[in-house]
Amino acid sequence: MKCRQEDQPLRMPLLHLYFTMCMALMLTACITSPSPEEMNKRAENNRWELSHWGNRSVPYGDDGAPVILSFKDGRVSGHAGCNRYSAAIVFGPHRGELKVSHGITTRMACEPRHMEFETSFIRAFEASTRYRLDGESLSFESDIAPPLEFYRRPLD
C-alpha cells in the first residue's frame, strides 16, 4: 500500500519529536540528583576539587592552592583557597536539596585577590540550596551565584 502525499508532511514532525525525546532521556540519565542518602555516601567516598565557577578564575598551581572539599559525618571541610574551612552540611530532606550552615575558617593572611576569592566562594557555598551530580562532577547551586562545580578526586 502506498502512502498518500498528505501523510508525508506529518512524518517529519513526528520523527523530530521522537529524536528530541530520545536525546532528552539520554541527557537525564547522565545528570541526576541522587537521593540524599546516596549523595551523602558518594560525597564521603571522594574528595572534590573546585573546577569551574561561572566566569571566575579558579585557583590552581602557581595561581594558588586548589579549593578541595571532603565530607564526613554531616560536615564538610577542606581548603577554601587560602584558609581551612569547615561547616555542617545536610543533603536533603528532598532529592537535590541541601543545607550548608555558617562555617568557620582559620585566619591566615593571603594575597588580597586570594582572600577576595575565598570570601566570595564561602558566601556562595553557604548559600547553596541545591546539588546535582553529573558523572564525575558535583555542582552546588544557589540564587546568588553561578553554580560551584567540583570534580571528583579519589581519596588518598
Of 137, 83, 81, 131, residue with least CA distance to 106: 83
pTM equals: 0.78
Residue 35 grid cell: 537521593
Residue 121: CB atoms within 10 Å = 22
pLDDT tens-digit readout, 9-66: 555 555 555 555 545 444 444 457 899 999 999 999 999 999 999 999 887 755 678 9
pLDDT tens-digit readout, 110-143: 889 889 999 999 999 999 999 999 999 999 999 9
- First vs last Cα of the chain: how many Å apart? 67
Query: Which is more confident, 16 or 92?
Result: 92
CATH architecture of 32-154: Beta Barrel (2.40)
